[in-house]
Amino acid sequence: MSRLEDLVAILKAAPGAVFIQTHDVPDPDAIAAAFGLRYLLSMSGVDSKIVYDREFEKIDARRMVELLGIEMSLASEVASIDIEDWIVIVDGQHGNANIVDLGCVPVAVIDHHQRCDAEPARGEYRFSDIRPDNGSCSSIIAEYFQVAGEVPPRFVATALMYGIFIDTDNLTRGVSDLDAEMFWRLHSFADADLIRKLRGSQITLRDLASYAEAFRTVEAYGRIGFLRLEGADDSLVGAANDIVLSVDEIDASIAFSVRPDGVKVSVRSRVDDIRADELSRAVVRDIGFGGGHSHMAGGFIPIDRLPKGKSIETLIKHRAISYIEGQCS
């Protein structure tokens, strides 16, 4: 049996509803993977709903849902979620800081991040497809279509292709053979005009002012760059950090934003000897949580965990530089 057939057989025994849960603030890859999986499940006679915890922060994620007619709901607005319902987690894993516990039964996980040690509180997954070598979760779902001999509808193909495109940064970052193959296969079924519209929805005019102010703060230590933003959402922090990494003299970069509830950290690397996920964990060690991929990672430090009497900027720079010097010694 294929992975999809295994999953369908499990879900058909669900005692209640089946929900597909993305990480809390879904990005294009999470949205696309959930959208594609829901379609495949429906074709196999399994009804499901896509849920998430907090509103979109990325402009293209919001536009994606609107343009492609993707049905997904805030979990807090779904009154019917019950303790006996089953959850399929997509683009994340139970126990991750960005996956809220909905109180249901997490029976399955499909993800492309490093395996999380925490198993669901109510037992082990009955289905697990975790591939940390992949650059996107969308390519895993696209492979499900290929193996099943199903042609993805235009909107689904467009979503999956865009999910791969974004999470691999235009097929330049963390790309696996599967990502490249699925991107090529999806190209025949996707809508190129919609892809261009989504690519044109990355930032707002308001963001430009924040960029202009933030880029005055850019500093470099050796070949690592630092950027501070004030009160910026995840989308803006990540997008600004991508620009810092594009500077010729920079091999790795850290952007961080101070918010009322804590500090959001974004980490990027384009060299093998500096892993973004390890650098992220080094920055938030013992006071926050972080992780991701070798090329792209993030973290968060809750406001009540910040050391007293020490500037946030000094803390982040000191920890990052100490990690880099340790790698080079």
Cβ pair 190, 154 in contact under 8 A: yes
Q: What letter does residue 80 receive in the DSSP assignment?
A: T
pLDDT for res 89:
97
Q: What share of the chain is helix, strand, coil (3-state, %, to 5)?
A: 40, 20, 40
The SS3 of residue 296 is strand
- Which position has the higher pLDDT, 214 or 11? 11
Q: How confident is the model at residue 44 (pLDDT cuts 50, 70, 90)?
A: very high
Q: Average pLDDT, whole number, for the chain?
A: 90
pLDDT at 118 over 70: no
| Radius of gyration of the CA atoms of the chain, in A | 20
Q: How confident is the model at residue 250 (pLDDT cuts 50, 70, 90)?
A: very high
- In the chain, CATH 3.10.310.40 sits at 206-328
pLDDT at 15 over 90: yes
pLDDT at 42 over 70: yes
Angle 128-133-137 (CA atoms, 0-180°, nearest 5)?
Answer: 60
Look at 21-25, 54-58, 115-119 and tell me which has the smallest mean pLDDT: 115-119
73 vs 269: CA distance, rounded Å = 34
Q: Which fold has domain 3-199?
A: inorganic pyrophosphatase (n-terminal core) (3.90.1640)
pLDDT at 126 over 60: yes
Rounded mean pLDDT, 278-292 = 90
- In the chain, CATH 3.90.1640.10 sits at 3-199
Q: Which fold has domain 206-328?
A: Diaminopimelate Epimerase; Chain A, domain 1 (3.10.310)
Q: How confident is the model at residue 328 (pLDDT cuts 50, 70, 90)?
A: low
Rounded mean pLDDT, 204-211 = 76
Which residue do the tokens 């973290």 mark?
A: 299
pLDDT for res 210:
77
Count of Cβ atoms closer than 10 Å to residue 242 Cβ: 17
Q: How confident is the model at residue 204 (pLDDT cuts 50, 70, 90)?
A: confident
In tens, the pLDDT along 54-102 reads 888 778 899 999 999 999 999 988 878 888 999 999 999 988 878 888 9
State which H helix or E strand residue 129 sits in.
strand 127-130
311 Cβ contact list (under 8 Å, min separation 6): none
pLDDT at 301 over 90: yes
pLDDT for res 285:
92
Q: What is the DSSP string of 111-154?
A: E-SPPPSPPPTTS--SEEEE-TT-S-SHHHHHHHHHHHTPPPPH
- Which position has the higher pLDDT, 151 or 99? 151
pLDDT for res 90:
98
